[in-house]
Chain A
Amino acid sequence: MTNVQELKESDLLVLCSILHLGDNAYGVTIKKQIEEIAGRVVSTASIYLSLSRLDSNNLVNTTIGDATPERGGRRKTYYRLTAKGERQVKIAINSWIAMIVPIAKKWELL
């Protein structure tokens, strides 16, 4: 089973943006979400590399959408978090909070 230590930061960003996007999570929107919220410049190819890793670890599942003309008649693949994926995000967030809160208190940011 994948534990939280094996999740790369980029994979975690992808998982979080899928959560943010809900039912509209596919390559283009995931990339846009990461760029807008996390302020990172990422390539679509690297997003797919992360998605492939997450899919093989059963952290996301996929559904095929409709073909649209602006995509050259190609269909979209929508991504959703599995129960395991949600658990991993919760574990990651909890460990980050545990790490960050004492520092934020020490620096009087909270």
Chain B
Amino acid sequence: MNQAPPAFTRLLLIWLTPEPFKETYLGDLEEEFHLVARARGYRNACWWYRSQLVLSILPMQQLRSRTNPIGKHCTILFVAIAALACTTPLKDASVPFYIIEHSLILLAAFATGYVCTFVFACKNFLVPTTIATTIVLFALYVRGEREEILWLLPFTVLAILAGLLTFRSVGGQHIPARSWLG
């Protein structure tokens, strides 16, 4: 009987695990897989192994970001692209529609910043949020859409405030406000 862990799951785990932890983490999972197989059978062990893949996603992304110093620059790039892509305001729309539209633009930029904070090594949520909103405002200014900027300003302030509230590192350690306020 084949006692190896499911091959495809193992491949995904190899891809997911950052290099410094690859050998030891995958070795640990394989050792545990054999322990589970002896105790509960091969089929249960396979399901246990697959569950470890799901449980590994967030911690391994956090580990990756801890070991990836260029991640912050990637975050800024991603947020900039996302923010520019969002900057396509509709013409001649009614006032409520403007509010909904601009809320969605900032929400998209904000969500992208949040995802990038986890995926890459950005130290906090504030930086991508601020960059995203600044780029949206700058793009509107360049395009001569001054009214749009006025509508967006309150949302920008709200987004930056939300960024401040979620000001924490991806490693799980809080960064005290005094350390960046100087």
Contact = CB atoms under 8 A, between A and B. Distances in A.
A49 B62 contact: yes
B63 interface: yes
Given A28-B28, A28-B32, A49-B171, 19 more contacts: A8-B172, A28-B35, A43-B52, A45-B25, A45-B55, A45-B59, A45-B63, A48-B59, A49-B63, A49-B172, A52-B21, A53-B66, A53-B171, A56-B66, A70-B34, A71-B27, A74-B24, A74-B27, A76-B24
A76 B26 CA distance: 10
Interface in A5-32: 6, 8, 26-28, 31
A100 B171 CA distance: 29
Interface residues of B, number: 27
| Interface hub of B27, B31, B55, B60 (most chain A Cβ within 10 A) | B27
Chain A contact-residue range equals 20 to 34
Contacts of A74: 23-24, 26-27, 30
Interface of A: 6, 8, 26-28, 31, 43-46, 48-49, 52-53, 56, 67-68, 70-72, 74-77
A28 B59 CA distance: 16
B173 interface: yes
